[in-house]
């Protein structure tokens, strides 16, 4: 949840909160605090996205679009909602339409999440142990259908 | 502009200190810092004061989401961050904030009485129309809305001047059942409520109560912040505004439910 954003956009600085008075509400301070407390997967994925966002149109020689900023950003939002601290980071692959694919192929599970924009995309996963195979669309704020496969890739069966 | 719903509780002197109406849209990749100069040229009469702030992180409600998970400093960490620009009215009560993927209108209490939601919404609509026209003329692209949010920040003090930090039960009727042994010193709490549309979660109400000290007079107060944020039904401006209207109703009714009848009297509850 992004309550920190909600606090930040307020315009006034007219109040001191005794319980938090020792923690200045300065962006650089927040950034530093986030940097030391954030899980490893975030810096890994952000590093990859930074490179992918620099790729020009036609990066695959077949008229591909450059990666969309909004798709990359929502990919991070989605991971932030679903990843646990010990979930292995995904492979991040650009797609020709300007989206990105987040992929895990481990623990006898294949999981692919294709993000094309905010609340837009689709997914597919296959559990090789049980034979279960599920695909679906991402078209709302409800990401519940991804919880089970995300938990599965995060642990050995 | 929609009229105030008749069934909504209303007060003569509500303790509102700030109201924030914001929309988030697909990032305007072509928007560059020099454009802001052209925009200010149009807005200078309305907003004579301009300043720069760090950009806000993207804010999306998703289900599930982890409580307390830090947001993602996406804009700050990738590429050159585009600032959030504040355009303020002369007296500082009206503020329009713009960055590549957001437009926010704040009403802030100064000497003026709270003009109510419909007035602030009207100003947001004006800002959106002006900015949308500007974006079109400059070839920056269309605004494709993906999130909307409304926040009320209330600052509450007791009429007799006592500190409300140790008297939360006098302010919040919902707090009375938590009276325990010992003498309460202060209280902080947060709660989140989810909202569904056709059985699919789409929005959250965030409620936070914190003790605070007002810088201006050193007086102890309670800050009651309520934010309703969610995904509009589609990517149009009308849908984003409709979500704000829903959120405003949720917040006002929730505020009325949470707070005590005694404080309602102090604030001049009308209906």
**Residue B70: what pLDDT?**
58
Interval A86-109 mean pLDDT: 94
Q: Where are the alpha helices (DSSP H) in chain B?
A: 33-43, 74-77, 117-137, 168-171, 237-258, 261-266
Interface of B with A in 40-59 (CB under 8 A): 54, 56-59
The confidence band for B214, taking pLDDT boundaries of 50, 70 and 90, is: confident
Q: Report yes or no: A53 at the B interface, CB cutoff 8 Å.
A: yes
Q: Report yes or no: B155 at the A interface, CB cutoff 8 Å.
A: yes
Q: What is the pLDDT of residues B37-47, one digit of tens each?
A: 999 999 999 99
How far apart, in Å, do the first and last CA atoms of chain A sit? 30
- Min mean pLDDT across A114-123, B112-121, B176-185 is at B176-185
- Residue A97 belongs to some domain of the structure: yes
- Residue A46 belongs to some domain of the structure: yes
- Residue A78 belongs to some domain of the structure: yes
pLDDT of A22 above 50: no
Q: Report yes or no: A52 at the B interface, CB cutoff 8 Å.
A: no
- Please name the member of A12, A38, A119 whose beta carbon is closest to the beta carbon of B231: A119
Q: Which residue has the higher pLDDT, B189 or A101?
A: A101
pLDDT of A29 above 60: no
Interval A4-31 mean pLDDT: 50
- Taking CB atoms and an 8 Å limit, are A49 and B215 in contact across chains? no
pLDDT of A92 above 50: yes
Q: What is the pLDDT of residues B84-106, one digit of tens each?
A: 999 999 999 999 999 999 999 99
pLDDT of A31 above 60: no
- Taking CB atoms and an 8 Å limit, are B70 and A38 in contact across chains? yes
Q: How far is CA B103 from CA A149, B21, B26, in A?
A: 36, 9, 11
How would you classify residue B44: left for phi > 0, otherwise alpha for psi between -120 and 50, otherwise beta?
alpha
Size of interface A-B (CB pairs under 8 A): 173
- Min mean pLDDT across A129-143, B70-84, B117-131 is at B70-84
Relative to beta strand A91-94, strand B94-99 is unpaired
Domain count, chain A: 1
- Residue A7 belongs to some domain of the structure: no
**Residue B93: what pLDDT?**
95
- Please name the member of B63, B73, B214 whose beta carbon is closest to the beta carbon of A142: B63
Q: Which long-range contacts (CB under 8 A, 24 or more apart) does A54-61 make?
A: A55/A94, A59/A94, A60/A96
Q: Report yes or no: B190 at the A interface, CB cutoff 8 Å.
A: yes
**Residue B266: what pLDDT?**
94
Q: Where are the alpha helices (DSSP H) in chain A?
A: 3-9, 27-37, 40-53, 69-82, 147-153
Residue B107, beta-bridge partner list:
B19, B94
Interface of A with B in 103-142 (CB under 8 A): 117-119, 140-142
Q: How far is CA B157 from CA A17, B162, B174, B218, B230, in A?
A: 14, 8, 17, 12, 31
ipTM, two decimals, is 0.86
Distance from the A22 Cα atom to the nearest Cα atom in chain B, whole angstroms: 13
Question: What proportion of chain A, given as a percentage, has pLDDT over 90?
Answer: 57
- Please name the member of A31, A76, A143 whose beta carbon is closest to the beta carbon of B64: A143
How far apart, in Å, do the first and last CA atoms of chain B sit? 22
- Sequence-distant (6+) residues with CB within 8 A of B106 are A9, A10, A11, B18, B19, B20, B21, B94, B95, B96, B97
pLDDT of A11 above 90: no
Q: What is the pLDDT of residues B9-68, one digit of tens each?
A: 999 999 999 999 999 999 999 999 999 999 999 999 999 999 999 999 889 999 988 765
- Min mean pLDDT across A45-54, B153-162, B180-189 is at B180-189
**Residue B167: what pLDDT?**
83
Sort out which chain A residues have CB atoms less than 8 A from B62's CB and list them. Answer: 77-78, 81, 141, 143
pLDDT of A138 above 70: yes
Q: What is the pLDDT of residues B124-183, one digit of tens each?
A: 999 999 999 999 999 999 999 999 999 999 999 988 888 888 888 889 887 776 677 888
Q: Report yes or no: B104 at the A interface, CB cutoff 8 Å.
A: yes
The confidence band for B69, taking pLDDT boundaries of 50, 70 and 90, is: low
pLDDT of A1 above 70: no
Q: How many whole angstroms separate alpha carbon B2 and alpha carbon A139?
A: 29
Cβ atoms of residues B255 and B163 within 8 Å: no
Q: State the sign of the Cα–Cα–Cα–Cα dihedral B237, B243, B245, B251.
A: negative
**Residue A35: what pLDDT?**
55
**Residue B73: what pLDDT?**
63
Residue B192, beta-bridge partner list:
B206
Q: How many whole angstroms separate alpha carbon B43 and alpha carbon B46?
A: 5
- Please name the member of A6, A15, A76 whose beta carbon is closest to the beta carbon of B214: A15
Q: How many whole angstroms separate alpha carbon B45 and alpha carbon A88?
A: 54
The confidence band for A13, taking pLDDT boundaries of 50, 70 and 90, is: low
pLDDT of A23 above 60: no
Interval A53-80 mean pLDDT: 91
**Residue B126: what pLDDT?**
97
Interface of A with B in 75-104 (CB under 8 A): 76-78, 80-82
pLDDT of A6 above 50: no
Cβ atoms of residues B117 and B105 within 8 Å: no
Instruction: Provide the domain limits for residue A88.
Output: 40-153
- Sequence-distant (6+) residues with CB within 8 A of A77 are A118, B58, B60, B62, B72
Q: How many whole angstroms separate alpha carbon A145 and alpha carbon A133?
A: 12
SS3 state at B62: coil
**Residue A39: what pLDDT?**
79
- Residue A15 belongs to some domain of the structure: no
- Sequence-distant (6+) residues with CB within 8 A of B227 are A3, A6, B149, B150, B151, B205, B206
Q: How many whole angstroms separate alpha carbon A129 and alpha carbon B72?
A: 35
**Residue A58: what pLDDT?**
87
- Sequence-distant (6+) residues with CB within 8 A of B210 are A17, A19, A20, B188, B222, B223, B225
Q: How many whole angstroms separate alpha carbon B140 and alpha carbon B147?
A: 20
**Residue B194: what pLDDT?**
96
Q: Which residue has the higher pLDDT, A7 or B212?
A: B212
- Please name the member of B64, B208, B214 whose beta carbon is closest to the beta carbon of A144: B64
Interval A118-144 mean pLDDT: 96
**Residue B163: what pLDDT?**
86
**Residue A145: what pLDDT?**
96
**Residue B245: what pLDDT?**
97
Interval B106-129 mean pLDDT: 94
């Amino acid at each position: 949840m992004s309550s920190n954003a909600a606090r930040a956009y307020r315009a006034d600085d007219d109040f001191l909160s005794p319980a938090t008075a020792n923690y200045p509400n300065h962006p650089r301070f927040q950034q530093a605090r986030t940097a030391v407390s954030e899980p490893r997967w975030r810096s890994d994925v952000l590093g990859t996205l930074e490179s992918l966002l620099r790729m020009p149109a036609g990066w695959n020689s077949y008229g591909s679009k450059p990666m969309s900023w909004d798709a990359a950003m929502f990919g991070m939002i989605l991971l932030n909602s679903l990843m646990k601290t010990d979930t292995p980071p995904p492979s991040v692959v650009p797609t020709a339409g300007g989206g990105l694919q987040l992929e895990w192929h481990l623990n006898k599970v294949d999981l692919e999440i294709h993000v094309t924009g905010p609340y837009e995309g689709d997914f597919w996963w296959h559990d090789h142990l049980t034979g279960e195979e599920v695909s679906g669309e991402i078209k709302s704020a409800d990401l519940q259908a991804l919880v089970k496969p995300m938990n599965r890739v995060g642990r050995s069966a | 502009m929609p009229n105030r719903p008749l069934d909504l509780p209303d007060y003569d002197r509500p303790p509102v200190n700030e109201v924030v109406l914001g929309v988030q849209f697909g990032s305007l990749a072509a928007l560059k810092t020099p454009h802001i100069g052209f925009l200010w040229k149009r807005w200078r009469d309305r907003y004579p004061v301009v300043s720069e702030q760090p950009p806000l992180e993207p804010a999306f409600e998703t289900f599930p989401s982890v409580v307390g998970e830090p947001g993602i400093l996406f804009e700050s960490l990738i590429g050159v961050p585009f600032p959030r620009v504040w355009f303020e009215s002369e007296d500082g009560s009206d503020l329009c904030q713009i960055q590549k993927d957001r437009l926010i209108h704040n009403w802030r209490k100064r000497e003026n009485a709270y003009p109510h939601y419909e007035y602030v919404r009207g100003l947001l609509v004006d800002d959106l129309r002006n900015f949308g026209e500007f974006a079109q003329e400059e070839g920056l692209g269309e605004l494709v809305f993906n999130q909307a949010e409304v926040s009320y920040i209330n600052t509450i003090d007791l009429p007799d001047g006592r500190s409300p930090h140790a008297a939360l039960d006098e302010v919040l009727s919902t707090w009375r059942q938590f009276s325990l042994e010992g003498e309460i010193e202060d209280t902080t709490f947060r709660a989140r409520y989810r909202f569904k549309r056709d059985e699919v979660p789409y929005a959250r109400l965030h409620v936070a109560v914190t003790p605070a000290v007002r810088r201006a007079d050193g007086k102890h107060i309670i800050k009651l912040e309520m934010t309703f944020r969610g995904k509009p039904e589609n990517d149009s401006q009308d849908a984003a505004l409709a979500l704000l209207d829903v959120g405003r109703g949720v917040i006002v009714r929730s505020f009325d439910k949470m707070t005590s009848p005694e404080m309602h009297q102090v604030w001049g509850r009308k209906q």
